[in-house]
Amino acid sequence: MKGFFNGTATAMVTPFHVDGGVNFEVFGKMIDYQIENGTDVLVILGTTGEPATMTEEEKIAVMKFSVEYVNKRAKVVFGSGSNCTANAVKASKLAEELGADGLLCVTPYYNKCTQKGIIEYYKTICESVNIPVIAYNVPGRTGVNILPATAEALAQIPNMAGIKEACGNMEQICETMRRIRGKMDLYSGDDNLNLPILAIGGAGLISVVSNIAPKQVKEVYTLVKECKLDKANEIEDKLLPLIDACFTEVNPIPAKYGCCAIGLDAGIPRAPLTELESEHKKIMDECIKIAGVEHL
């Protein structure tokens, strides 16, 4: 299934109050900031949104708020993957009921299933809903890697919209693109590889750094698609230090600080994640300036 979305998506952070609750006022400001700067899709409750430390009640409240607040101004995709297929199906059905335009489902983590298990996992999820599903390949976090032949098999599932690739191996990504081209879409899931993945035919990207710099990320996407690579690289060269800064510590620790630094009070991550170290804050502040991101 091709064509669910072309463009830029932001893997949204979830802002928390000092007392730990979700800060919906700031979340609304974050959503507006994304839409006003050209972001096409909001990916909510993915890894960057810290769902692993949120209660079911909180996640439901975030989904309901997101659908209502966005009000069709952009597509809304909810993370619903799990290391238990039954739980992933339950979460996917709920997300669809609450108004999701699509789903982002990470591979089963920790269990380390086989390639056959990956196929069965996504097939079961896709058969349980009527909306597009994007597979998320991030072996650095999950211990499971969607191999190119497996991605090709997934492309045969009717509502399998694409794969968010964050394996970090460009050779593998090129082979995956070769196998799925014309069947389902490829999305960059690694900000460092946004430009080359777009260049080989990626339909878009799902970005962490766009929490801070959505305008610049969208400009890179647009320029690549217009084959204006010199201009795209000019912007990307200024973005790369910020991208690196976003991963000086575990995501979303730096991204949440970056949001705060530009005037979006994202708060700090929930334990066991910690606040960004002071030396990394200085790096982030400098990189925000280099990227040309304005304070709100």
142: left (phi over 0), alpha (psi -120 to 50) or beta: alpha
CA distance 230 to 144: 36
Contacts of 205 (CB under 8 A, 6+ apart): 8, 9, 187, 188, 189, 191, 194, 197, 198, 217, 221
Smallest CA-to-CA distance from 45 within 106, 108, 132 is with: 106
Residue type, 212: I
Q: At 139, which amino acid appears? A: P
Catalytic residue, chosen from 33, 121, 122, 164, is 164
Tell me if residue 75 is catalytic: no
Instruction: Report the distance separating Cα 275 and Cα 252, nearest Å.
Output: 10
Can 136 be counted among the known catalytic residues? yes
Q: How far apart are CA 219 and CA 232, in angstroms?
A: 7
Structure tokens, 259 = 């949001």
Tell me how far apart the alpha carbons of residues 79 and 213 are, in angstroms, rounded to a whole number: 22
* Residue matched to tokens 């952070």: 13
Cβ–Cβ under 8 Å, residues 134 and 126: no
Catalytic-labelled residue, pool 121, 122, 136, 187: 136
CA–CA separation, 12 and 30 (whole Å): 8
- Catalytic residue numbers read 136, 164
